[in-house]
A and B are shown apart, each in its own frame.
Chain A
Amino acid sequence: MSNVTCAFIIQRPPYKSETSTLGFTHAISWQVVEMLLDEGQNVVPTVCFVGEGVLNLYTNQKAMENYGVTSIESHGKNSLLVDLDMLVCKEDLERFGIPEDRLLDAEDMGADKKLQIVPYAEIQKAMESCKHLLFF
Chain B
Amino acid sequence: MGTLTIGCFASLVGSKSLDFTLKLANAAADKGHKVNLWLSGNATVMGKNHQKHLKDYSTGEKPTMELLKKGVEICECEACALARGIQKPDAIEGIQWNAMHWYLAKIYNSDRVLHVGGE
Give the interface of A toward B (CB within 8 A).
4, 6, 17-19, 22, 25-26, 29-33, 35-37, 41-43, 45, 132-136
* Interface residue B60 (Cβ < 8 Å from any Cβ of A): no
Contacts of B107 in A (CB 8 A): 4, 6, 43, 132
Q: A22-B41, A29-B101, A134-B113 are in contact. Are A37 and B108 (CB under 8 A)?
A: yes
Within the complex, the shortest CB–CB distance from A49 to chain B, in Å, comes to 15
> How distant is the Cα of A31 from the Cα of B7 in the complex, in angstroms?
19
**Which of B's residues lie within 8 Å of A, judged by CB?**
7, 9, 40-42, 99-105, 107-108, 110, 113, 115, 117-119
Residues of B within 8 A of A136 (CB): 117
Number of cross-chain contacts by CB at 8 Å:
61
**Given the complex, which residues of A lie within 8 Å of B101, measured CB to CB?**
29-33, 35-36
Whole-angstrom CA separation of A29 from B80 in the bound complex: 14
Partner of A33, one of B9, B40, B108, B110: B108
Q: Measured between C-beta atoms, what is the minimum distance from B85 to chain A in Å? A: 15
**Shortest Cβ distance from residue A45 to the other chain B in the assembled complex, whole angstroms:** 8
Q: Kindly list chain A residues whose C-beta atoms are within 8 Å of the C-beta of B41.
A: 18-19, 22
B118 / chain A contacts, CB cutoff of 8 Å: 17-19, 22
* A18, B83: Cα distance in complex, Å: 12
Contact A19 B117 (CB under 8 A): yes
Q: How far is the CB of A33 from chain B (nearest CB, A)?
A: 4
Interchain nearest-CB distance for A28 vs B (Å): 8
A33-B115 contact in complex given A19-B41, A22-B41, C-beta closer than 8 Å: no
Q: Which residues of B contact A6 (CB under 8 A)?
A: 104, 107
Could you tell me the distance between the alpha carbons of A31 and B99 in the complex, rounded to whole angstroms? 12
Q: Is the CB of A4 within 8 A of B117?
A: no
